[in-house]
Structure 1
Amino acid sequence: MRKFCIVLLFVISCAINGIAQPSGLDSSFGVNGKLIYSTPSTYTSEFDGISVQPDGKIISVGSWLQYQVVLRCKPDGHPDSSFGVNGIFSRSFSSLNFIYRDIVLLSNSKILLGGDDAANNHSLFRLNSNGTPDSTFGNNGYVSASAGGQGYYVAMSLQPDGKIITMGTIITGAGNVIAIVRFMANGTVDSSFGINGRVATYIGNYGATPGAITVQPDGKILVGTQAYKNQQISAFACLRYLPVGSLDTTFNHTGIAWGTTGFLTYVKTMALQPDGKIILGGAINGNLVLQRLDSNGIADSSFGNNSIASADTCVASCMALRNNGSIVIGGYTTANKEDWAVMQFKPGGTLDSSFGQYGKIFTEVGPGNDRMYDIALQADGKVVACGTYCKTATSSGAQVDAAIVRYHSDGRLIVSQPHTGIIPDITLYPLPASDLLHIHTSANAAIMDASLYGMDGRCIAHLPINNNTLYVAGFPNGLYLLRLLSPSFSPITRRIIINH
């Protein structure tokens, strides 16, 4: 057997270039708010799902090397040695040919994993609370069922009675078909659902690309998807099924509610509010879009701008609702490079300015393209997230590590203290700055990064740099902190005034 080593690195954002970066994370978690699970340079790893137990322990699911893994860590980010082996349950892909993509915590403290196998079947694996396979579920914890054809698994949800709904696609020549399978709580396929436990739905002209599923308290099933309303128009869409598997015609008269449209449309997440309203999240033409529907499938005009809330150059990949109705969105940016993004919207669909900076946090987890795949809320309101960390600016595929981070409940961003080292002679002019701010260094050192912060320590923007000149015309008048990075000296922070 080939031996391998998985190394848990508690690293700070500067691990690649050796200098401190501003941190938007909760420093009481891991090291400076971050856990990086590193694999050899010829492999890739990622965390796809995350959940928080009632005792505050955090469980993530994903893949490292050729292994599928479940990690449980304590609230401070250290591995929980009471789970699996040193906090990790792992199994080689070849042993089951099963890729973990999703996680649900059960009321009996057991852990349910969802995904697909090499034959593209919908597969489930159940663990005991201590990280051992649950022998009372299927074949030593494992069950698998065909959805009815070649396709892929997307997500799962639980019914109030404990039955398990998995959702994915069947690929056909006419486009993707939405495929749903229902399992009994013990892992057997529920033959009372649809036809032999399966439902397949083709909508639109070119099929659909579903992204999310959830179950209402009354047992009705919601699926959020992208679909083509006609040959040219891609749209948000939501389907509602009765508990028996047929479309619910009380939902927009057909069981299908069509939403906002665009050229490049993605639906990746969905949330059900306590009042029955439905929020779909994703992106259209590279910009984050949320749309809220009433419980009957009609667009809710009281939300955002005629049922739509949006943010520039981001994709929403995950969502969580706070008890006060606020909507926490996780995802990644699409401009220049991909960085982790967290945003908070008020219940009415406007960005919540009390969170982060103007409702947003952009976090450069690594120097390359990084993606956030899932988020969960702790009881204290802190946000834990998981996804990928790209080791270098040019890395792809085999240079990607798995990452977990934690944000403060209000999203506050803290400017790190600069490292000791060479302190350059730097002049900023003119001050106050109106449109352009010039940077002069005694050694003509090149500035490689300039970050603008509010006086409360919240990051506002990474400023574009042209020959050591910054453009600041778009910011309101006021006092700011400017943090400069250069290969020639340690990070420095200066106060500046912007006055137009």
Structure 2
Amino acid sequence: MSQSQAKIAGNFYDQTFGIGGVVTFPIDNVAASDFPQAIATLPQNKLLMVTTGDDTSLKMVRLNEDGSLDSSFASGGSVVVPTSRIGYFYANSLDLLPDDKFLVSGAINNTVAIVRQVKDGAPDPSFGENNDGQVSYNVYNFLDSNSYPGASFHSSDAEGEQVDKSTGYSSGVRGVATALDGQIVLTRTIKVGASDFRVIVIRLSENGSLDETFGGKGYVFIASASSEERFSRGVLLQQDGKVLVFFKYNGYVHVIRYNQDGSVDISYGDKGTGIVTIPSINLSSTLTSMALKPGGGVVAAGDNSSVSGRSTLLVSLTSNGSFSKDFNEGQPALSVYSGYSNNVVKSLALQDDGRILVGLAVFVGDSRELVNLVARYLPDGSFDTTFGGGKGFIAFDATEGFFRSLAVLPDHRVVFCGYGRVSGLAGHVVRCLA
């Protein structure tokens, strides 16, 4: 990256955080190889994140506003995620709950796993059949082993993106959502055969057991074709208990909405099917991150592939599943970032004023140098030119490597985490100015 580009990015680092706006591991009892996978904001501008380590352990880490470890949390600011009964898994979701508890979830091979911890990091005794805060489900809790030998949860959350076992990471697709009453909804892809991939939607009750009021068994499959290729892309849980599931099928991204009982909500969309299809632009489109809009509806971000590379795809839907007329004239929006290429969206967050933040990994020009980039959009889908010195985006050269998760503070400062080659391969957290 050129010196001028580095200087532009440097102007936006929050100098009151870490060293020059960046916290690079190791710090105290957090190792360089503790790679952050998901991050969330807490009161007093503190940060909570889940990390994966090279010793196949998961860890919760809490930082103060200045980026130092919060010694009031657990043991010196970090705690190992309890997995003694269910075993290690690749964590890619972190959810904060209204009672100051938090939920970590992910999958490995033929198992999905969820861990709930209380405010101080201890296991939540009200969760899990052994009251140890741990819940896991095998693929054969949902399929007959005789009919589908060798079935497993797909090793990526999107076709073509395999788990990096050296880092314990399984893509940025969000596979879990929580509700105020403690309900948990998960979606995953199950590989049944060589070209047979199916999307399952699972709802758990507050104690982690299957909620059999959903679909009669606690789960439903999208469609029932004997052979198909469907891939889970993410899930959102509305305040009214309805479930929005994003999935990819036949080259298109679709959104389906379920009622609280697990039946398809045919009032969603304009075709009476409960499914909305996102039109594919150029070769292929996908969505990897999504959020509920405060006034109803959703915003989602992902990638659009063409012969010239990848651009960022943004979509805004109303609460009834139609395309928002006040967003890019009712159409999906594509964007590129001057000087960068091959966009791969990893995270999305909404500010309280409706502006949209997207975190992604990009190449510098036509090179293979991978850097992190944060873009901010207005509610209408156009770049927010008050961000990034008039460009609407900031590229962070000091974080060369791998983007994982993004969050926004109440004052609109942005934080993101990942790992990169700042000094060897190390985890890092970055905070930038609003």
Q: Shift in Å at residue 257 of structure 1? A: 0.7
Residue in structure 1 matched with residue 426 of structure 2 by the alignment: 401
- Structure 1 equivalent of residue 46 of structure 2: 57
Distance 1:208 1:403, change over 3 A: farther
Greater mean alpha carbon deviation, residues 351-360 or residues 89-98: 89-98
Structure 2 SS opposite 1:55: helix
1:276 aligns with 2:278: no
Q: Is the 8 A contact 1:50 1:59 kept in 2?
A: yes
Cα distance in 1 for residues equivalent to 2:46 and 2:26: 21
Task: Give the C-alpha shift of residue 136 in structure 1.
Answer: 2.5
Structure 2 residue matching 1:339: 3-state secondary structure: strand
Report how far residue 161 of structure 1 moved: 2.1
Question: How is 1:461-472 mapped onto 2 (pairs within 5 angstroms)?
Answer: none
The aligned residue for residue 111 of structure 2 is: 121
Aligned partner letter, 2:277: W
Shift of 1:272: 1.6
Provide TM-score, normalisation by structure 2: 0.80
**How big is the shift at 1:305?**
5.2
Distance in 2, matches of 1:21 and 1:193, equals 48
Q: Does 1:146 align with 2:175?
A: no
- Whether contact under 8 Å (2:9, 2:394) holds in the other structure is no
Q: Quick check: 1:338–1:371 contact (8 Å CA) kept in 2?
A: yes
CA contact (8 A) 2:244 2:255 kept: yes
Partner of 2:379: 347
The gaps in structure 2 that reach 5 residues or longer are 2-6, 143-150, 158-173
Q: Give identity over the alignment, percent.
A: 26
Following superposition, the deviation at residue 316 of structure 1 comes to 2.3
Q: Per-residue CA shift, 1:46-101, capped at 9, x if unaligned?
A: 21111111232210112021221110111111111121221111258776223322
Taking the aligned partners of 1:404 and 1:113, their CA distance within structure 2 comes to 19
1:375 aligns with 2:375: no
Matching of residue 255 in structure 1 with residue 274 in structure 2:
yes
1:221 and 2:238 matched: no
Distance, in Å, in 2 between the alignment partners of 1:401 and 1:176 is 34
Q: Residue 177 of structure 1 contacts residue 200 of structure 1 at CA under 8 Å; is this kept in 2?
A: yes
The secondary structure found in structure 2 opposite 1:249 is coil
- Between the aligned partners of 1:142 and 1:170, the Cα distance in structure 2 is 22
**C-alpha distance in 2, partners of 1:332/1:156?**
23
Work out the CA distance in 1 between the residues paired with 2:253 and 2:81.
37
Structure 1 portions without partners, runs of 5+: 1-12, 14-18, 229-233, 393-398, 410-500
Asked whether the equivalents of residues 224 and 280 of structure 1 are also in contact (C-alpha less than 8 Å), the reply is no
What is the CA deviation profile of residues 234-281 of structure 1, one whole-angstrom value per residue up to 9, with x for unaligned ones? 223211111111221111221211112142432110122123222221
User: Which structure is larger by alpha-carbon Rg, 1 or 2?
Assistant: 1
Secondary structure, aligned partner of 1:79: coil
Instruction: Please report how far the alpha carbon of residue 206 of structure 1 lies from its aligned counterpart in structure 2 after TM superposition.
Output: 4.8
C-alpha change, 1:301 and 1:331, in structure 2 (3 Å) is same
Distance 1:333 1:54 in 2: 31
Task: Give 1:46's aligned residue.
Answer: 35
Q: Which 10-residue stretch deviates more, 264-273 or 195-204?
A: 195-204
1:192 aligns with 2:213: yes
What SS does structure 2 have at the residue aligned with 1:372?
strand
Number of corresponding residues: 376
* Corresponding residue number in structure 2 for 1:362: 395
Aligned to 1:351, what secondary structure does the other structure show?
coil
Aligned-partner Cα distance in 1 for 2:326–2:83: 47
Q: Aligned partners of 1:86, 1:331: CA distance in 2, in Å?
A: 31
Supply the AA of the counterpart residue of 1:130.
D
1:42-191 residue pairs with structure 2 within 5 A?
A: 45-66=34-55, 67-91=57-81, 96-117=87-108, 119-138=109-128, 139=130, 140-147=132-139, 148=142, 149-152=151-154, 154-173=174-193, 174-191=195-212
| Structure showing greater relative contact order (alpha-carbon pairs closer than 8 Å, 6 or more residues apart) | 2
Alignment partners' CA distance in 2, 1:346 and 1:319: 13
Say if 1:134 and 1:141, in contact at 8 Å, map to a contact too: yes
Distance of 2:311 and 2:62 partners within structure 1: 34
How far has the Cα of 1:344 moved from its partner? 0.9
SS of residue in 1 equivalent to 2:16: coil
CA distance in structure 2 between the partners assigned to 1:21 and 1:255 by the alignment:
44
Amino acid corresponding to residue 404 of structure 1 in structure 2:
V
Letter matched to residue 255 of structure 1: G
Counterparts of 2:311 and 2:403 in 1: how far apart (Å)?
A: 16
1:405/1:243 Cα in 2 relative to 1: closer, same or farther (>3 Å)?
same
Q: Give the 3 Å change call, closer, same or farther, for CA 218–91 of structure 1 in structure 2.
A: closer
Q: 1:24, 1:363 within 8 Å by CA — same for their partners in 2? A: no
| Distance in structure 2 (CA, Å) of the matches to 1:48 and 1:208 | 25
Is 1:288 aligned to residue 312 of structure 2?
yes
CA RMSD of aligned residues (A): 2.7
Structure 1 residues 227, 38: CA separation in 2 closer, same or farther (over 3 Å shift)?
farther
The one-letter amino acid of 1:308's match is: P
Distance in 1 between the 2:116 and 2:370 partners?
A: 33
Contact map agreement 1:331 1:341 (CA 8 A) in 2: yes
The structural deviation recorded for 1:108 is 1.0
Under a length normalisation based on structure 1, what TM-score does the superposition of the two structures give?
0.70
Asked whether the 8 Å contact 1:99–1:116 carries over to 2, the reply is: yes
SS in structure 2 opposite 1:291? strand
The alpha-carbon distance between structure 1 residues 364 and 305, as it changes in their structure 2 partners (threshold 3 A), is farther
CA contact (8 A) 1:269 1:281 kept: yes
Is 1:332 the counterpart of 2:353? The answer is: no
Instruction: Give the C-alpha shift of residue 390 in structure 1.
Output: 2.8
Relative distance call for 1:130 and 1:27 in structure 2 (3 A) is same
